Structure 1
Amino acid sequence: MRISKIFVTVDVIIAKIEQSDFFLLLIKRKNDPFKDFWALPGGFVDENEDLEIAAIRELEEETQIKVTHLEQVGAFGKPFRDPRGHMVSVAYFGMVPENTIAVAADDAKEAQWFSIKNLPKLAFDHLDIINTTLQKQNL
């Protein structure tokens, strides 16, 4: 019997509207891989953990933002998207009020809102995940 070496992660696209522009929340990674790069909040799904619960947990752990529901966008699993191994990420989307403040915590060095018109260079395949999400949400 062959044991799979594929891991499941979640990534969270959180948006808010401010001054008629859409802003996305990104975190600056504290650890390798992609240390000091901007990325979507997210991380590994724990054993026996529901995917949406994992996304809600990771969002709160890294940004202190609490939500009760996120919408699943899709799965992203191209080999080599993560240098640590074969990771399949399930992406989730949510909107928060314009006055929502993010505070970096856990393995996030910083948390910051960026206009979708002016995103920084991103870790992993997070730009692809964002673009797919924006298309699906008609943003």
Structure 2
Amino acid sequence: MGVRAGDPRVEGGLVNWCDRTWPGERRSWTPPSRCWPGKLVDRISAFRSGYLALLELRLEATRRPELRAVLTKRIRADIDANVAHHQESGLPGDSTTVLLLYLALNWLIVERLTLPDIFSEEEVHGLVESAVDRMLP
């Protein structure tokens, strides 16, 4: 079920990712594994300057090996921590699932921040839901 324009589940431009019901429909529980990716995309996209600064750092790292080494170590540690948290929390999927979501959602965020008109909010939310539905068992 995708998010549509005028969706009452949207407040202040952010989707309530755990409320996947329409008004008048019976509410059902949504597991956290289906909620966090959308929350993550919205939260990171809202911190535009910080994420774009990190992209600039990544580009600079292609020219400066010492920066590349530091940045690689830091980001690898973050990825490892995300995989470990996912596995320890008992969420569905394995480490490859986490990495695929990381890669897919990161590029979606890049598109959203650098070319904000390329996907509508409705499309962004539909893509996140589709990625989660296809990657998580």
Instruction: Give the TM-score of the pair, scaled to structure 1.
Output: 0.28
* Structure with more of its chain in strand, by fraction: 1
Between Structure 1 and Structure 2, the one with more helix by share is 2
Point out the structure with max Rg over C-alpha.
Answer: 2
